[in-house]
């Protein structure tokens, strides 16, 4: 593995319905989440849809652990020793082979045993590296246990920075405590890092702010597979985490930079939703660009946030994109915050 920093800015890059399992899981978590508890978590995409205070925390409590009891971690073979693992939370990417096990994101701590078991069915090698696509707890919740087990955790500088401190989300009226030491990335990068493992050149590249200000995409060039984290919610409106430096226009800019890097045969692992094609990623981008433009027009017309939401600028997209994680009004509210600079 080699790591390098660069001075210049980096360039860069439809979901199945939320399963009933996830909906139940999320509902259960919400009921059990206490304000200012370290036990909050982003458990499934329906969380926001329901209300969602408790989105980004990292560590569900012991009491919540049983809420994950029925989650099944499934592996999808992508060839070349690569797999998509899905359970509850962000999609995982996995590379196995003679050089060691490389994991992208790790969902929630209570799923750690299941994730390890799913990996153990594919390889007898422990996880050597974990790369986080961004700091949210449904992607980093397993860091602590993997770190304690000896994995080297790698992420963008801002992932470690945000995980290192207590934080509060006004959007969801929810606090997230600082992560324990073992959960923090031990190697961070400003722009990019390249792993040379298992016959793959694995390019990990920071993008301009979009979902958060610490996003990274992981491109397995020889295998023509790319994990884009929460830069892509396949088939649903994304959560634009404006409070973590995210931006709706950043999404469009970043996707426009990624699209030329991939082709019609590329398998795209989204942060949430089913594995996708370039055309599906482009469709997602076009929705975001359209909604951003519509909201900007309303803002230019001096509409208030409530008036913008009431104008339903997403109406023509809602039947297809508004039934998942983010409901239309919530999404429009965040787009408004993004385009006006409000938080
Ligand atoms: Zn996220």
Cβ atoms of 95 and 101 closer than 8 Å:
yes
Range scoring the smallest mean pLDDT among 62-66, 91-95, 123-127, 226-230: 62-66
- Ligand 1 centroid from CA 134, angstroms: 7
What pLDDT shows up at residue 67? Answer: 78
- Ligand 1 centroid from CA 297, angstroms: 27
- Tens of pLDDT, residue by residue over 141-199, are 999 999 999 999 999 999 999 999 999 998 888 899 999 999 999 999 999 999 999 99
- Ligand 1 centroid from CA 295, angstroms: 23
Report how many domains make up the chain: 1
Structure-token pair, residue 144: 């602590």
Ligand 1 is a single-atom ion; what residues have CB below 5 A from it?
136, 230
Other Cβ atoms less than 10 A from the Cβ of 305: the count is 16
Q: Determine, yes or no, domain membership for 264.
A: yes
- Ligand 1 centroid from CA 266, angstroms: 22
- Ligand 1 centroid from CA 1, angstroms: 26
What pLDDT shows up at residue 61? Answer: 54
CATH of the domain at 75: 3.60.15.10
% pLDDT > 90, the chain: 76
Is the pLDDT reported for residue 44 higher than 70? Answer: no
What span, in angstroms and rounded, lies between the C-alpha atoms of 58 and 60?
7
- Ligand 1 centroid from CA 7, angstroms: 26
Instruction: Tell me the pLDDT band of 4, cut-offs 50, 70 and 90.
Output: very low
**DSSP three-state, residue 75:** strand
- Ligand 1 centroid from CA 52, angstroms: 14
What pLDDT shows up at residue 64? Answer: 60
- Ligand 1 centroid from CA 230, angstroms: 5
Alpha-carbon separation of residue 106 from 229, 320, 330 (angstroms): 12, 29, 26
Is the pLDDT reported for residue 325 higher than 90? Answer: no
- Ligand 1 centroid from CA 201, angstroms: 25
* Pairing mode, strands 225-227 and 174-176: unpaired
Q: Determine, yes or no, domain membership for 330.
A: yes
What pLDDT shows up at residue 172? Answer: 84
- Ligand 1 centroid from CA 312, angstroms: 24
At 197, give phi and psi (nearest 5°).
-140, 145
- Ligand 1 centroid from CA 302, angstroms: 31
Q: Determine, yes or no, domain membership for 9.
A: no
- Tens of pLDDT, residue by residue over 95-150, are 999 999 999 999 999 999 999 999 999 999 999 999 999 999 999 999 999 999 99
Looking at per-residue pLDDT, the higher value among 333 and 48 belongs to: 333
- Ligand 1 centroid from CA 301, angstroms: 31
Q: Determine, yes or no, domain membership for 5.
A: no
Instruction: Tell me the pLDDT band of 66, cut-offs 50, 70 and 90.
Output: confident
- Ligand 1 centroid from CA 205, angstroms: 17
At 209, give phi and psi (nearest 5°).
-55, 135
pLDDT, averaged across the chain:
85
Cβ atoms of 268 and 276 closer than 8 Å:
yes
% pLDDT > 70, the chain: 81
Q: What is the pTM of this model?
A: 0.83
What pLDDT shows up at residue 343? Answer: 63
What span, in angstroms and rounded, lies between the C-alpha atoms of 282 and 78?
21
What pLDDT shows up at residue 63? Answer: 53
Q: Determine, yes or no, domain membership for 7.
A: no
What pLDDT shows up at residue 51? Answer: 32
What pLDDT shows up at residue 42? Answer: 38
What pLDDT shows up at residue 171? Answer: 83
- Tens of pLDDT, residue by residue over 274-302, are 999 999 999 999 999 999 999 999 999 99
Q: Note down the domain range covering 30.
A: 14-340
Q: Determine, yes or no, domain membership for 45.
A: yes
Q: For 222-233, what is the mean pLDDT?
A: 97
Name the burial class of residue 178, with classes exposed (0-12), middle (13-18) and buried (19+) by CB atoms within 10 angstroms of its CB.
Answer: middle
Q: Determine, yes or no, domain membership for 4.
A: no
């Amino acid at each position: 593995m080699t790591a390098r920093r660069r001075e210049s800015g980096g360039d860069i890059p439809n979901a199945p319905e939320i399963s009933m399992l996830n909906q139940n899981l999320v509902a259960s978590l919400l009921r059990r989440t206490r304000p200012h508890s370290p036990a909050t978590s982003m458990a499934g995409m329906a969380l926001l849809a329901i209300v969602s205070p408790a989105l980004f925390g990292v560590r569900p409590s012991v009491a919540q652990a049983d809420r994950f009891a029925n989650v099944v971690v499934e592996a999808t073979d992508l060839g070349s020793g690569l797999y998509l693992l899905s359970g509850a939370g962000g999609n995982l990417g996995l590379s196995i082979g003679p050089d060691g096990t490389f994991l992208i994101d790790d969902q929630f701590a209570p799923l750690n045993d299941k994730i390890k078991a799913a990996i153990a069915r594919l390889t007898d090698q422990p996880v050597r590296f974990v790369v986080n696509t961004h700091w949210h707890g449904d992607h980093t919740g397993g860091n602590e246990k993997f770190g304690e087990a000896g994995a080297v955790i790698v992420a963008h500088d801002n992932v470690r920075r945000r995980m290192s401190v207590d934080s509060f989300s006004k959007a969801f009226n929810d606090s997230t405590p600082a992560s324990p030491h073992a959960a923090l990335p031990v190697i961070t990068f400003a722009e990019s890092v390249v792993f040379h493992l298992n016959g793959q050149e694995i390019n990990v590249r920071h993008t301009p702010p979009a979902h958060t200000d610490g996003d990274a995409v992981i491109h397995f060039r020889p295998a023509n597979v790319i994990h884009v984290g929460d830069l892509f919610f396949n088939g649903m409106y994304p959560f634009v985490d404006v409070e973590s430096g995210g931006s709706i226009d950043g999404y469009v800019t970043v996707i426009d930079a990624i699209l030329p890097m991939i082709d019609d045969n590329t398998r795209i692992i989204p942060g949430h939703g089913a594995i996708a094609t370039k055309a599906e990623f482009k469709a997602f981008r076009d929705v975001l660009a359209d909604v951003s433009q519509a909201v900007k027009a309303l803002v230019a017309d001096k509409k208030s946030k409530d008036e913008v939401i009431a104008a339903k600028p997403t109406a023509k997209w809602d039947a297809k994109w508004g039934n998942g994680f983010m409901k239309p009004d919530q999404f429009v509210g965040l787009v408004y915050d993004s385009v006006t600079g409000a938080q």
